[in-house]
Structure 1
Amino acid sequence: MRKTSLILLASALPLAVQAANTEFSYGGYLKLDAMMSTYSDGDLGAASGGRDYYLPFTIPTGGEETSSFDMSAKSSRFNFKTVTTLENGEKVTGFVELDFLGSAQGNEVVSNSYSPRLRHAFFTVGNLTFGQTWSTFMNTSALPETVDFLGVSDGTVFNRQAQIRYTMGDFQFSLENPETTVGGTASDDNGLPDIVARYNLKAGDHTFSIAAIGRQFASQNGVSGPTGVDETATGFGASVSGVIKLGADDLKFSYTTGNVARYVGVGSASDVVVGANGDLEATDVNAAFVAYRHFWTDKVRSTLAYSMLEADYDDAAAVTLTESSSSTRLNLMYSPTKEVTYGVEYSMASRELVSGADGDMNRIQFTSKFTF
């Protein structure tokens, strides 16, 4: 990357900067979230990501009723983009984005200091994309507008990972970084990439996406003898999602099914369990959401959303794993200008384990966001 002088940067920012054959630009937002949560069956520890945004698998399922109040700016993000024109006239686009969620650094005693995490780091040349970004299996345009970082966590495909993607018009094909969760724990033993194919289509103002995935599951525990596990299995899944325009309003939806546990519910279900004979038994998952957004005025709107997840484990010993979860949320969003948004949201969610143990969460959340 060519260097751009500080004088040039100072004079041109925040507009894109042209340095020789490379253009630079940046963006992101500053965001404050404040939430009051009540858990019916236990306490959610201070270090849990479920205190920052809705993670279905973090809902406690044992203990007394507890409550918490949290306020942070962790979801603020910054991105940096470059567009370089090559000697042959072809353009290469690079993109990097960071935020501060999921940080193990810092606490709320004095400084609330949190380390940045990598969200995206990829470049695109021609029809090819290389690097880390949203999985091709995921349709980001179908995500509803929620105060919570994700909102419909139970029912949506949500995944960022390294990949090589080929795009030809509305068709996409990718080889993506694999991972297998065994009994809820990541194994990192896969020998083949996840394979994804997706087709996007339009019908007037409406947009839809159909995607399919093929996966290898693998686990090696390094133990010899009858307790040793060195197995692989295969799995497949499909997803359909879309946006239906209803005048100014919209209806967004998604339905995903198959052996897709780590791709939905933010990994709430386990990809496989180890059966009594030592074989890997893939989990069958169904996940869905539907969200309706209504514009009261051009600056005020509300979204009502419902999401759900159900997991079917073949092994009866998986009593501590999440079998189902669901959530419902209603919000009110106000944007006095396109750069500033205020929002308030009420959500209620539930989670049940294979054992039958369950728990509920109720949350009121406020957000304010400035986009630049």
Structure 2
Amino acid sequence: MRKTSAILLAAALPMAVQAANTEFTYGGFIKFDAMYSQYSDGDLGAGSVGRDFYLPGTIPTGADKTSSTDLTARSSRFNLKTVTTLDNGEKVTGFVELDFLTHTDGTEANSNSYSPRLRHAFFTYNNLTFGQTWTTFMNVGALPEVVDFFGVSEGTVFARQAQVRYTMGNLQLSLENPETSLNGTAAANMQDDNSMPDMIARYNIKAGDHSFSVAGIVRELATQNGVAGAGNVDESEFGFGVNVAGVLKMGNDDLKFSVTHGQVGRYVGLGTAADAVMAGTDIEPTDVTAAFVAYRHFWNPKLRSTLAYSMLEADYDNAAAGTLNEKAISARINLMYSPVKEVTYGVEYSNAKLEKVSGAEGTMDRLQFTAKYSF
């Protein structure tokens, strides 16, 4: 027993020394959501991610009217941050965050048990960031305050992925994990065949209380099947895109916006539009335009509302399948109340519409309530 204790103590000493130079902090929130959703043209199955938050591409089309009620706490999250002071006085910052969304391994019949998933895992040393976090192409600060997971889904850049990022003042340059969604956004259509990383540059601008960002991306859209002979497919095209986003302060109120254009299918709308389609043996990139605008008004220090509009339009090659998503729009209005800083209650009404290349369309109306405790 004594020998075992001595071994354990010796093993713990290096950790204790390291802990003396490292500051640990944790955070996150517990979030309860209750949603009543009505679909004009079909049923959104129980396993669909669109039942947990607004995912434009999941709006059903071409069937009968349905409705559903969902209560969930799956968007709750937890994070751990470390800041280590090195012997030379420099600092290394690490960050890991988990939540419980998107998994289908749980059941609502009894325990509602869902596995945690990785959101962020990165560290920053000097001007370099390594790991998985928000794409540099995205301005997180421009996202509006909404009851839904982030609401303006079709109109904004949204991606977390592995990357190497260099920051020099207001300039950020990154090499990020590539992926191509071909002929649709289902998992089976994801082509992990890229030979070069996505290259992104972003410049942040401050003007008084206002803030803006301008970002550009160069990416390869590629597909290979490894088949020998006449059946071989090995095609790639370059894609380009630009994003402008920002926050305009108007007294206590604010106006947030984002505009994105280019061959950026998977980067906007949570993959509502495909990156490219195959026209014979050629890969044809999709031109996508996405935008949102959101105005937040403070009725008093504890009560505020956001009115938001969001849109996406995809321009495919003429050979595009009729089942592909072509247009998506949504609008929402909410009322948020924080009796104390850590607790927020909110109610939101949203209306959304999805249109396919074939002309088939469907709408969604959703009333959502949330209660959130941040720590």
Deviations for 1:281-300, whole angstroms, at most 9, x for unmatched residues? 00000000000000001000
Match for residue 170 of structure 2? 170
Asked if 1:190 is matched to 2:194, the reply is: yes
Following superposition, the deviation at residue 104 of structure 1 comes to 1.8
Distance 1:4 1:249, change over 3 A: farther
Q: Cα 1:111–1:236, aligned 2, differ >3 Å: closer, same or farther?
A: same
- In terms of mean alpha carbon deviation, does 117-126 or 224-233 score higher? 224-233
**Cα separation, partners in 2 of 1:61 and 1:228, compared to 1, 3 Å:** farther
Q: Secondary structure at the match of 1:19?
A: helix
Provide, for residues 91-115 of structure 1, a one-character-per-residue CA deviation record: whole Å limited to 9, x for no partner: 0000000000011211100000000
1:319 paired with 2:322, answer yes
Report the residue type matching 2:97 in the other structure.
E
* Contact map agreement 1:306 1:328 (CA 8 A) in 2: yes
Closer/same/farther in 2, CA of residues 247 and 130 from structure 1, 3 Å limit: same
Aligned length: 360
Amino acid in the other structure paired with 2:284: E
Secondary structure in structure 1 of the residue aligned to 2:62: coil
Match of 1:96 in 2: 96
Q: Which residue of 1 aligns with 2:67?
A: 67
Match of 1:339 among 315, 337, 342: 342
Structure 1 runs, 4 residues or longer, greater than 6 Å off: 2-5
TM, length-normalised to structure 1: 0.94
Change (3 A) 1:4 1:44: farther
Q: Is residue 2:152 matched to residue 1:152?
A: yes
- SS at 1:265's partner residue? coil
Q: CA deviation digits over 1:8-55, x for unaligned, max 9?
A: 9xxxxxxxxx93111111000000001000000000011100000000
1:290 partner letter: V
Partner residue of 1:248 out of 241, 247, 252: 252
Distance in 2, matches of 1:192 and 1:356, equals 36
The alignment status of 1:22 with 2:26, answered yes or no, reads no
Q: 1:264 aligns with which of 260, 268, 271?
A: 268
Whether the 8 Å CA contact 1:312–1:323 is kept in 2: the answer is: yes
Q: Secondary structure at the match of 2:235?
A: strand
Aligned partner of 1:64: which letter?
A: D
SS in 2 for 1:266: coil
Please state how far the C-alpha of 1:227 moved relative to its aligned partner: 4.7
Q: Distance in 2 between matches of 1:3 and 1:326?
A: 56
| Other structure's SS at 2:36 match | strand
* 1:226 positional shift: 4.9
Q: Given the alignment, which residue of 357, 369, 372 partners 1:369?
A: 372
Matched to 2:259, the amino acid is Y
Equivalent residues in 2 for 1:31-42, closer than 5 Å: 31-42=31-42
Q: Give the whole-Å Cα distance in 2 for the aligned partners of 1:250 and 1:103.
A: 35
User: In the alignment, residue 325 of structure 1 is paired with which amino acid?
Assistant: A
Q: Is the contact between residue 350 and residue 358 of structure 1 (CA under 8 Å) also seen in structure 2?
A: yes
Using the alignment, how far apart are the partners of 1:273 and 1:164 within structure 2?
Answer: 29
- Confirm or deny: 8 A CA contact 2:305 2:335 kept in the other structure: yes
Aligned to 2:181: 181
> What are the superposed Cα offsets for residues 144-194 of structure 1, whole Å, 9 maximum, x if unpaired?
000000100010000000000000000000000000000122111111000
Alignment of 1:203-282 (within 5 A): 203-224=207-228, 226-276=230-280, 278-282=281-285
Give the 3-state SS of the residue equivalent to 1:154 in structure 2: helix
1:212: Cα distance to partner?
0.1
Counterpart in the other structure of 2:44: 44
Q: Deviations over 1:292-328 (max 9, x none)?
A: 0000010000000000000000133321100000000
Residues 4 and 186 of structure 1: is their aligned pair in 2 closer, same or farther, counting only changes over 3 Å?
Answer: farther
Give the secondary structure class of the aligned counterpart of 1:78. strand
Amino acid at match of 1:297: N
Task: For 2:242 and 2:214, locate their aligned partners in 1 and report how far apart those are by CA, in whole Å.
Answer: 8
Q: Secondary structure at the match of 2:154?
A: coil
Is the 1:281–1:315 Cα contact (8 Å) retained in structure 2?
no
Letter matched to residue 124 of structure 2: T
Cα–Cα, structure 1 residues 3 and 237, in superposed 2: closer, same or farther, change >3 Å?
farther
Residue type of the alignment partner of 1:355: S
Mapped contact 1:4–1:19 kept (Cα < 8 A): no
Structure 2 stretches lacking a partner, 5+ long: 1-10
Letter in 1 for 2:100: F
How does 1:301-312 map onto structure 2 within 5 Å?
301-312=304-315
Residues of 2 paired with 1:70 and 1:274: CA distance? 38
**1:119 to 2:119 alignment:** yes
Q: In 2 relative to 1, CA 355–342 (structure 1 residues): closer, same or farther, beyond 3 Å?
A: same
Does the Cα contact within 8 Å between 1:3 and 1:19 map onto a contact in 2? no
Q: What is the alpha-carbon distance in structure 2 between the residues aligned to residue 344 and residue 104 of structure 1?
A: 27
